[in-house]
Amino acid sequence: MGGVGGASAGPAVGGRPLIITEDPLLLDDLLRLCAAAGAEPHVHHEATEQDGAGGPGGPGGSAGWESAPLVLVGDDAARRVRGAPRRDGVFLVGRDLDDPLVWQRAVEIGAEEVLRLPDAESRLVDRIADVVEGAGRPALAVGVIGGSGGAGASTLACALAVRAAHTGERTILIDGDPLGGGMDVLLGGEGAEGLRWPDFAASRGRVGAGALEESLPELHALRVLSWDRGDRVVVPPAAMRSVVSAARRRGGVVVVDLPRRVDEAVAEVLAQLDLVLMVVPGELRAVAAAGRLAAGVRMVARDVRVVVRGRCPGGLDPEAVAALLGAPLAGEVPVEVGLPGRVAEGEPPGAHGRGALARFCDGFWQRALGSAQGVPA
């Protein structure tokens, strides 16, 4: 059959999608999308049945239908799989699906979704690539943002990542603030080999999760994506979205240090976070500044909580700060004596496992990673 190329017919195994279609043009499209996702599919076509293998729902082909991680059924071939066992991960695909009966055929074969090409190409490539990369439950993604200048958000973000990695979680720390001091500096690895944000500024479409992780500097058992020391580079929103999505795809924990603004690129990041911790000193001016920022963050983020950083003499208690901001209280982190000196000597925040900061982070992850929802109550 024309357009099959090197794809093989027969039962699918491992992470190889199964394609079922008699339409050579549609097959060419699906093979192209599989190649873009780095997948080598199995192709099930009429010749297989003539050779005695049986259709997808028949005795010879049922193993391929049931074991393939993803099944792409051409609209032309829907009739052939009506008797196949019901399963997840079946998509009905075509180039012209204006026919109202297409939805009936999708129901008949138990399709999860109807995809029309070329409109759904990027979504389909994502699903195929998830199969190739063995994507499971996405990483728990936590953003940290300072409610006011000098609140200590970067210190908390770094400590959260260090403590998560200490528990054995796959951890990626993302520096989302190009004007900050640099997360690699806090980790003592500004000279470490690996890619930085400017290397991803031209990213278009999907970024491979495995390739991203392997390309980043590894410091203190975690991967970090920071900025280089060169001229400031603007990372487009689409690149931000692709990189954060890739970081989440292989599970574990992703911590993002956020800038104190909500522009289009930051909004792309906020939309992918499970939780945002807003760090606020316990004094009135800081709370007023945090209130203005919180309004913008809440427009995008699904869950915003307050971490009160230290108490000023005569200042507000943590419950009062949270009440004024109208957000749940995630906890209090007292000012830790000696922390700046240890950081200056090359010890990242949270590294020694003692002190108020490490205790807060350990307690946070115990609740977050131990809860069914992945986010502490």
Cβ-Cβ contacts under 8 Å for 337 (sequence gap 6 or more): none
The Cα–Cα gap between 351 and 162 comes to 6
Mean pLDDT of 262-280: 95
94-152 residue pLDDT tens: 887 677 888 899 999 999 999 999 988 888 988 888 777 766 678 999 999 999 988 89
* Angle formed at CA 345 by CA 339 and CA 346, multiple of 5 degrees: 95
- Cβ-contact 226, 175 below 8 angstroms: yes
Q: What is the model's pLDDT at position 318?
A: 92
Q: What is the model's pLDDT at position 3?
A: 35
Mean pLDDT of 229-246: 86
Instruction: Show the tokens assigned to 103.
Output: 């939805």
Cβ-Cβ contacts under 8 Å for 126 (sequence gap 6 or more): 37, 206
Instruction: Show the tokens assigned to 232.
Output: 């400031």
CA atoms within 13 A on the CB side of 124: 28
DSSP letters spanning 129-157: HHHHHT--SPPEEEEEEESSTTS-HHHHH
The Cα–Cα gap between 222 and 8 comes to 39
Query: How is residue 8 annotated by DSSP?
Result: B
- Cβ-contact 2, 25 below 8 angstroms: no
Q: Is the pLDDT of residue 38 over 90?
A: no
Q: Is the pLDDT of residue 57 over 80?
A: no
Instruction: Show the tokens assigned to 350.
Output: 């949270």
SS3 234: coil
CA atoms within 13 A on the CB side of 276: 30
Q: Which helix (H) or strand (E) holds 357?
A: helix 356-370
SS3 157: helix
pTM to 2 decimals? 0.73
Query: Tokens 């940290």 label which residue?
Result: 144
163-219 residue pLDDT tens: 999 999 999 999 999 888 889 989 988 889 999 999 998 776 778 888 899 999 999
Q: Which helix (H) or strand (E) holds 318?
A: helix 318-325
Instruction: Show the tokens assigned to 240.
Output: 């931000």
